[in-house]
A and B are shown apart, each in its own frame.
Chain A
Amino acid sequence: MTVKQISIFLENKSGRLAEVTKILADNNINIRALSLADTADFGILRVIVSDFHKASDVLKTAGYTLSETDVVAVEVPDKPGGLAGILAPLKEAEMDVEYMYAFVQSSGQNAIMIFRFEDPNKAIEILKGSNLKILSGEEVYRI
């Protein structure tokens, strides 16, 4: 049920993000979700794309350092307390969130949160137990 995310190391200097997105565009790869974490020196670009294998290949060929990470996509009810309802059972189970980011589906009413856990499969069990909707990789890549 996990989703494949590609994380790319970028130096914190102008034009780096533009270059990565251009490589993806040139190869007809669509970005589904994206988040950027940065420090003064460097940034880590995290993307979920339409074609994970192809994106990984073209970026590696272009010389980027990247890693593939299993993340969890959870549908967040669009109402007050939506996110709190996801975090509560995680806290209960002492499951730390390494990082997270959100994106909105074009069709649906609900936002989707991407979570990075140390143990994604255990997190999925906990969230399913709380009747939350977990999206599969295929579902996210096709959004």
Chain B
Amino acid sequence: MIWNEKYESMSRNDLEELQLTRLQAVIRKVYDKIPFYKKSFDKAGVKPTDIRTIKDISKLPFITKADLRESYPFDLFAEPMSDIVRIHSSSGTTGKPVVAGYTRKDIDMWAELMARTLVCATATRDDIIQNSYGYGLFTGGLGVHYGAEKLGATVVPTSGGNTKRQVMIMQDFGSNILTATPSYVLYIAEVAAEMGVDIKELPLRVGILGAEPWSDSMRDEIEEKLNIDARDIYGLTEVIGPGVSIECEEKNGLHIFEDHFVAEIINPETGEPLPYGETGELVLTSLTKEAFPVIRFRTKDITSLHPEKCKCGRTIVRMKRVTGRTDDMLIIRGVNVFPSQIESVLVAVEEVEPHYEIVVDRVGHLDDLLLRVEVNEQIFSDEVRKLEAIQGKIQDEIESLLGISVKVQLVEPKTIARSEGKAKRVRDLRKEKE
């Protein structure tokens, strides 16, 4: 089923025409209303009138997460606060969070996108949608909620946590659709088994899963364990939240709602645009958002775009499932982790440039973080308890900084592989297992 046949299945020509009209309008607006964009366009020597075709978008400068942070909290809003009806924000684990504002029209548009998303993943107004995405500043909970109401389905706003109750509701209410992070879904399945509930026999039909990277083998596991159809959903606070793209029944990439977003793939090193089919960094531009438009936002997510018409009937472009990031950000148990954060703890403890390796693995259903640290003369002691105290100190400080547990292993110097003299910082065994 397609919620909005007109916009999801229009000809590519008509779509590009629509995109161009909307792009020209939003460019004019940000140039006139947001000092950041005026400055950045002027610096790049580009004027709103230079955008004559959709391809001209590549003349515009990028905006990065750092730019968004520097504008904390409201500097990139294009509408007065009196017209802004809601605020969401990113978690801000690496500094100031990114704050997104929505006008009433933005909320309606977002609900439309989420209705399309849910329908693309087989939802109908007869379904009971159990929404286990967190409600709050996080865009997941309320994003799904408004879309489900717009569709006319029955939404159960369980939010995250209280897993036994989640299972009870799933059983007693007969939820057909579950929206959650993929790792939480596996945890729900585990808890159900402990409670003696055969989750495979419940009416649950579809899982709409995202907010963290997951592999095809994890999909297989979820589909097998819960006897459901598991779909990947993509979105980000900086752009709108969930509702940017979703997998259809073909599971051959995620359809991007291109009447509201322009998607580009660029070479992350040079910033040059790459043609369809080639893998690079995804760059997104919002065409219709009023309060918080973003022009050429660098997502740092690695993917490729495929414009061929899909068997599902949609003509809008598909993005491959995100396979990695251009920066070294790791997502561990839903928490964004940068190796630089771990490094700062080690520098404080060791007082010299540390050699370390971050090993992330998925043990059972949980991500496991192991930090291997080379022992240098600053931290070495001939007494076991002193070395163990250092191990514990690094462990405690990382745990209090990131909010996730870590095991610290002390290793001999030069045991961590170095490429061009610099230690290779991250080994993500979750990827190797895919």
C-alpha spacing A69/B386, complex, angstroms:
14
The stretch that binds B, out of A26-34, A35-43, A127-135, is A35-43
Q: Is the interface of B mostly helix, strand, loop or mixed?
A: loop
Residues on A with beta carbons closer than 8 Å to the beta carbon of B384: 37-39, 44
Chain A's closest residue to B383 (CB) is A98
Asked if A63 is at the interface (CB within 8 A of a chain B CB), the reply is yes
Asked if B414 is at the interface (CB within 8 A of a chain A CB), the reply is yes
Asked if A103 is at the interface (CB within 8 A of a chain B CB), the reply is no
Q: Are B410 and A64 in contact (CB under 8 A)?
A: no
Q: Are A10 and B412 in contact (CB under 8 A)?
A: yes
Asked if B276 is at the interface (CB within 8 A of a chain A CB), the reply is no
Residues on A with beta carbons closer than 8 Å to the beta carbon of B377: 65-67
Contact flag A41-B414 (CB < 8 Å), given A65-B375, A65-B377, A98-B383: no
Residues on B with beta carbons closer than 8 Å to the beta carbon of A98: 383
Asked if A50 is at the interface (CB within 8 A of a chain B CB), the reply is no
Asked if B402 is at the interface (CB within 8 A of a chain A CB), the reply is no
Most buried by A among B382, B383, B413: B382
Chain A's closest residue to B408 (CB) is A41
Residues on B with beta carbons closer than 8 Å to the beta carbon of A44: 381-384, 387
Residues in A56-103 with C-beta less than 8 Å from chain B = 63-67, 69, 98-99
Contact flag A63-B413 (CB < 8 Å), given A44-B382, A44-B384: yes
- What is the size category of the interface that chain B forms with chain A? 10 to 19
Q: Is the interface of A mostly helix, strand, loop or mixed?
A: strand
Contact flag A99-B376 (CB < 8 Å), given A11-B411, A11-B412, A65-B413: no
Residues on A with beta carbons closer than 8 Å to the beta carbon of B375: 9, 42, 65
Q: How many residues of A contact B (CB 8 A)?
A: 22
Residues on B with beta carbons closer than 8 Å to the beta carbon of A5: 382
Asked if B187 is at the interface (CB within 8 A of a chain A CB), the reply is no
Contact flag A64-B387 (CB < 8 Å), given A9-B380, A69-B382: no
Q: Are B382 and A65 in contact (CB under 8 A)?
A: no
Contact flag A7-B412 (CB < 8 Å), given A65-B375, A65-B377: no
Q: Are B382 and A11 in contact (CB under 8 A)?
A: no
Please pick, from B376, B409, B415, the residue contacting A41 in the complex, using a CB distance under 8 A: B409
Q: Are B414 and A9 in contact (CB under 8 A)?
A: no
C-alpha spacing A16/B21, complex, angstroms:
69
Asked if B224 is at the interface (CB within 8 A of a chain A CB), the reply is no
Q: Are A65 and B383 in contact (CB under 8 A)?
A: no
Q: Are A67 and B382 in contact (CB under 8 A)?
A: yes
Chain B's closest residue to A118 (CB) is B383
Asked if B220 is at the interface (CB within 8 A of a chain A CB), the reply is no
Asked if B70 is at the interface (CB within 8 A of a chain A CB), the reply is no
Residues on B with beta carbons closer than 8 Å to the beta carbon of A65: 374-377, 380, 412-413
Most buried by A among B381, B383, B387, B415: B383
In the complex, the 8 A-B pairs of residues with the closest C-beta atoms, listed nearest first = A7-B382, A9-B375, A65-B375, A65-B380, A69-B382, A37-B384, A63-B414, A11-B412
Of the A-B pairs whose beta carbons lie under 8 Å apart in the complex, a sample of 21, sorted by A's number, is A5-B382, A7-B380, A9-B375, A9-B412, A11-B412, A39-B384, A41-B409, A42-B411, A44-B381, A44-B382, A44-B383, A44-B384, A65-B375, A65-B377, A65-B412, A66-B377, A67-B380, A67-B381, A67-B382, A69-B382, A116-B382
Known: A5-B382, A7-B380, A44-B384. 13 other contacts (CB 8 A): A7-B382, A9-B375, A11-B410, A11-B415, A39-B384, A42-B410, A44-B381, A46-B382, A63-B414, A64-B413, A65-B412, A67-B382, A98-B383
